[in-house]
């Protein structure tokens, strides 16, 4: 895939997947973000920081897919190369971690148990998808390179130091 096509594909997928899961659905679940902000001490700044940090991580991860992998996160237009640079040196699934962090940030911002429950359901769905589809697919596609990476970099809780494989 050419770089421009990969960037365009990633942009479209960004809107279709994380845009819906971490944006549209929480917006609908919170009555269009009509809930009052949390009155619990620290929840608003921590939630806001979590959201901003996760959006930055998500944009970085999408950029790595387009520029390093020459593909998209969409299964119909996968990367040509295994993406293991940047944030991927710390955690194997930064997009899922970021999307869940955005939802949890909103749950804190609004003190919303509904959004916390939605994040829990989303986490179960994401972990299941990764285990049942993504990991076997990546193992078939990239073989030993993926197995070395998989053993060295955690799936969900980031390493503090980057992997230098």
pTM comes to: 0.95
Q: 37-79 pLDDT, tens per residue? A: 999 999 999 999 999 999 999 999 999 999 999 999 999 999 9
Reference 101, options 153, 157, 62; nearest CA is 157
The answer on pLDDT for 34 being more than 90 is: no
Angle at 131 between CA 125 and CA 132, to 5 degrees: 85
Q: Tokens 């421009």: give the residue.
A: 4
Asked if 105 and 51 count as a contact pair (C-beta separation under 8 A), the reply is: yes
- Extents of the domains making up the chain: 3-152
Q: How far apart are the first and last CA of the chain?
A: 25
pLDDT band with cut points at 50, 70 and 90 for residue 32: confident
Spell out the residues 6+ positions from residue 33 whose beta carbon is closer than 8 angstroms to its own: 26, 27, 110
């Amino acid at each position: 895939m050419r770089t421009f096509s990969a960037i365009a594909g990633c942009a479209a997928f960004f809107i279709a997947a994380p845009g819906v899961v971490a944006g549209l659905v929480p917006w609908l679940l919170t009555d269009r973000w009509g809930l009052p902000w949390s009155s619990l001490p620290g929840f608003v700044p921590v939630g806001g920081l979590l959201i901003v940090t996760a959006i930055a991580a998500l944009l970085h991860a999408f950029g790595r897919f387009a520029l390093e992998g020459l593909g998209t996160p969409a299964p119909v237009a996968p990367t040509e190369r295994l993406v293991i640079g940047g944030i991927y040196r710390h955690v194997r699934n930064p997009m899922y971690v970021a999307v869940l962090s955005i939802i949890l940030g909103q749950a804190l911002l609004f003190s919303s148990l509904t959004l916390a429950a939605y994040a829990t359901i989303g986490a179960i769905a994401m972990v299941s998808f990764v285990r049942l589809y993504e990991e076997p697919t990546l193992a078939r596609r990239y073989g030993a390179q993926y197995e070395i990476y998989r053993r060295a970099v955690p799936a969900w809780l980031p390493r503090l130091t980057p992997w230098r494989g």
